Amino acid sequence: MPETCLPIRTTGLRSLAALILVAGAALGGCSGGDFGRTRADMRNDDMHRWLGAEATASVGLKHSHFQLTENERQLRDLAYPLIEPPHSRPAWKSVFGDYQPLPSPWRQKVVFDRTTYGRALIDEPHRSHTSRYQQLIEDVRNDITRFEPFFASAVRVIELDRKRSASLKMVSELSPREQADAIARMEENTLIVQWVQQCLEQRISSYRWALERLVIQAPDGIAADADRLIGELAAQTANPPVTSQPVIGRAVTVKG
């Protein structure tokens, strides 16, 4: 074979390698990051700020124009994984990023279907029926892990809002706009806590429906582990560290 053929073949391989690198870089720019995390260009400190505006708007109230405090930002960041439906992103959505604002439970058009999670879990291809149980167990365990950090944050925020509410009567020259924004922020925080509480109750209902179907379709001893974890999450949800009611008016109504 003539030696002149070798440079030509090498050049072709180099071109192919360069094309692969360019394509990889392009896909990387669209990627949602490792393990389904939102891609870097979608992240910002206030990426979950919309939760408060959505919650208040859905019950006919105005949102606050105040900047978020660190505690309020953390409350929203910890709330989103508990609000987003469990196991709701197929693999391709996790790769390409599918972060979307979600409607609050007070939107009249929102109808909760407790069978959606289970049907997706059962219909999605799995190597074995045991892996379906394992996915259910993983989703429930994730919620249990997220429960304490969220409600610890909620306790701090609600307690500070109690102090804010009491301070409104003592602030000198308080403008109507400042008062309205302060009340709106307390309403946002309270509604977010209740939003998470409702979502947790719905998730428990969905998990139980899924487990019941798995048991009759593919009985397995691992079902007892899933049932125990669902019971643990249900017990936590029934007795949260702080509970709240939607705020309609001039003061925060909270018991905790």
**Contact call for residues 41 and 72 (beta carbons, < 8 A):** no
The closest of 180, 153, 175 to 73, measured between CA atoms, is 153
Cβ-based neighbours of 52, under 8 Å, separated by 6 or more: 63, 64, 72, 76, 185, 188, 189, 191, 192
Q: 60-74, 82-96, 108-122 — which is least confidently predicted?
A: 82-96
**Per-residue model confidence as pLDDT tens digits over 106-153:** 887 778 899 999 999 988 777 788 999 999 999 999 999 999 999 999
- The average pLDDT across 6-19 equals 46
27 Cβ partners below 8 Å, 6+ apart?
none
End-to-end CA, the chain: 84
Cβ atoms of 158 and 189 within 8 Å: the answer is yes
Dist. CA 189–CA 185, nearest whole Å = 6
What pTM did the predictor assign? 0.76
Judge residue 246's burial from the number of C-beta atoms within 10 Å of its C-beta, 0-12 exposed, 13-18 middle, 19 or more buried: middle
The domain segmentation of the chain, as residue ranges, is: 45-255
In the block, residue with structure tokens 């669209």: 30
Structural tokens at position 17: 């390698």
pLDDT in tens, 164-199: 999 999 999 999 999 999 999 999 999 999 999 999
CA distance 44 to 49: 10
Range among 28-42, 85-99, 117-131 with highest mean pLDDT value? 117-131
> DSSP of 103-155, one letter per residue?
--TT-TT----TTHHHHHHHHS--SSHHHHHHHHHHHHHHHHHHHHHHHHHHH
